[in-house]
Amino acid sequence: MKIGFIGAGKVGTSFGKYLVNNGFFVEGYYSRSYISAEKASNITNSKAYRNISELTQKADVICITTNDDSIKSVCDEIAINDGFKKGSMVGHMSGALSSVILESAKKQNCSIFSLHPLQAFASIEKAVLDLENTVFSIEGDERIKEITKILDICGNKYFIVDSKDKTLYHIAACIVSNYTVTLMDFGLAIFETIGIDKEKGFRALLPLINGSLENINKYGTAAALTGPIARGDINTITKHIEEIKVRSPDMLENYCMLGKKTTELASKMKLEGREDIIKKLNEKWKEGLR
Ligand SMILES: NC(=O)c1ccc[n+]([C@@H]2O[C@H](COP(=O)([O-])OP(=O)(O)OC[C@H]3O[C@@H](n4cnc5c(N)ncnc54)[C@H](OP(=O)(O)O)[C@@H]3O)[C@@H](O)[C@H]2O)c1
């Protein structure tokens, strides 16, 4: 099976290298700039292409690993020029889009898929290592079994997502991955206002976050929840809100919004049956969100 990549960036290059490490044959790369294609081909011992259809005519599997906004137009352009090899599999690796955007390839008798690694690719070297423990989602037509086989050989876990659910799937992944970073920044900014710099603050909070993650892993989210909301300490929450109003009023809305969401979670287990406390907490959030 010959695998080709269009878009020699972080994901295309590192996934290509990962496939090579797992015994697959990467045919080569085409990219907007030949320099990128050459760089990726050197890393993967494959060929850099100057002509896109030379690559698409050779490859049995084509991964379009451009930025999301270019995937459809790249695919359509190849299809218009009758560039895909008949019977090949054409996919992309975006989490936000489904394989439906590759319908022009489908009309050319290719099968279509999307294969999304639940991983943040900051650098190629680190990504190749991280890929070993990465879980993928797969979505596409009846031939996606052939893509699952690739992951089986690599030893990666995966799950199948319905095309119509791909956006919701991506929303969930973004909430967990991106908003965790934002929450860290939110807390660290408060630390900074009392003279604890971001680096020191992060080192201090890291064991706390790691502990929370371990607790989620062991017990699930509802049981892992700790803190004043889970305990139903209304006086502590009242004090928080009063302090935020005086020291940092612009934070009030965000604090209350997260508090409301946390109360929802707490009511499933930690505050189960304590309707009076849940009601009082929700009144506090409502007041702050006005
Ligand atoms: N980064 C992540 O953490 C991550 C995680 C999961 C999934 N993804 C998905 O993976 C895909 C690639 O993301 P990335 O982070 O690897 O992006 P990236 O590093 O910016 O790489 C994109 C590559 O696409 C090339 N390109 C852009 N337009 C092109 C075109 N019209 N024709 C040919 N090549 C073109 C660029 O070319 P040149 O270098 O030649 O200019 C660049 O090398 C996206 O669909 C993204 O959603 C990313």
pLDDT 10s digits, 23-73: 999 999 999 999 999 999 999 999 999 999 999 999 999 999 999 999 999
Best probe residue, ligand 1, of 65, 73, 90, 128 (max atoms within 8 Å of C-beta): 65
Q: What is the pLDDT of residue 156?
A: 98
Q: Are 53 and 76 in contact (CB under 8 A)?
A: no
Q: Is a pLDDT exceeding 90 seen at residue 122?
A: no
Task: Give me the CATH code for the 2-161 domain, please.
Answer: 3.40.50.720
Segment 3-21 mean pLDDT: 98
For atom 1 of ligand 1, the residue with the nearest CA is 121
Q: What is the pLDDT of residue 178?
A: 93
Q: Is a pLDDT exceeding 90 seen at residue 75?
A: yes
For atom 12 of ligand 1, the residue with the nearest CA is 65
Q: What is the pLDDT of residue 290?
A: 83
Q: What is the rounded CA–CA span in Å between residue 237 and residue 113? A: 48
Q: What is the pLDDT of residues 177-190, one digit of tens each?
A: 999 999 999 999 99
Rg for the chain, CA atoms, rounded: 24
- Pocket lined around ligand 1, Cβ cut-off 6 Å: 6-12, 31-33, 36, 65-68, 70, 74, 92-95, 116-117, 119-121
Q: What is the pLDDT of residue 277?
A: 97
32 alpha carbon – ligand 1 mean position (Å)? 10
Best probe residue, ligand 1, of 17, 66, 158 (max atoms within 8 Å of C-beta): 66
DSSP assignments along the chain, one per residue: -EEEEE--SHHHHHHHHHHHHTT-EEEEEE-SSHHHHHHHHHHHT-EE-SSHHHHHHH-SEEEE-S-HHHHHHHHHHHHHTT-SPTT-EEEE--SS--GGGGHHHHTTT-EEEEEEE-S--S-HHHHHHHGGG--EEEEESTTHHHHHHHHHHHT--EEE--GGGHHHHHHHHHHHHHHHHHHHHHHHHHHHHTT--HHHHHHHHHHHHHHHHHHHHHH-HHHH--SHHHHT-HHHHHHHHHHHHHH-GGGHHHHHHHHHHHHHHHTTTTTTT-HHHHHHHHHHHHHHH-
Q: What is the pLDDT of residues 219-234, one digit of tens each?
A: 999 999 999 999 999 9
Q: What is the pLDDT of residue 56?
A: 97
Mean pLDDT of the chain: 96
**pTM for this predicted structure:** 0.90
Best probe residue, ligand 1, of 18, 29, 30, 32 (max atoms within 8 Å of C-beta): 32
For atom 11 of ligand 1, the residue with the nearest CA is 65
CATH architecture of 169-289: Orthogonal Bundle (1.10)
| Confidence label for 2 from pLDDT (cuts 50, 70 and 90) | very high
Task: List the chain domain ranges.
Answer: 2-161, 169-289
Ligand 1 atom closest to residue 120's alpha carbon, by position in its atom list? 3
68 alpha carbon – ligand 1 mean position (Å)? 7
Fold: same for 2-161 and 169-289: no
> How many angstroms from the chain centroid is the CA of residue 149?
22
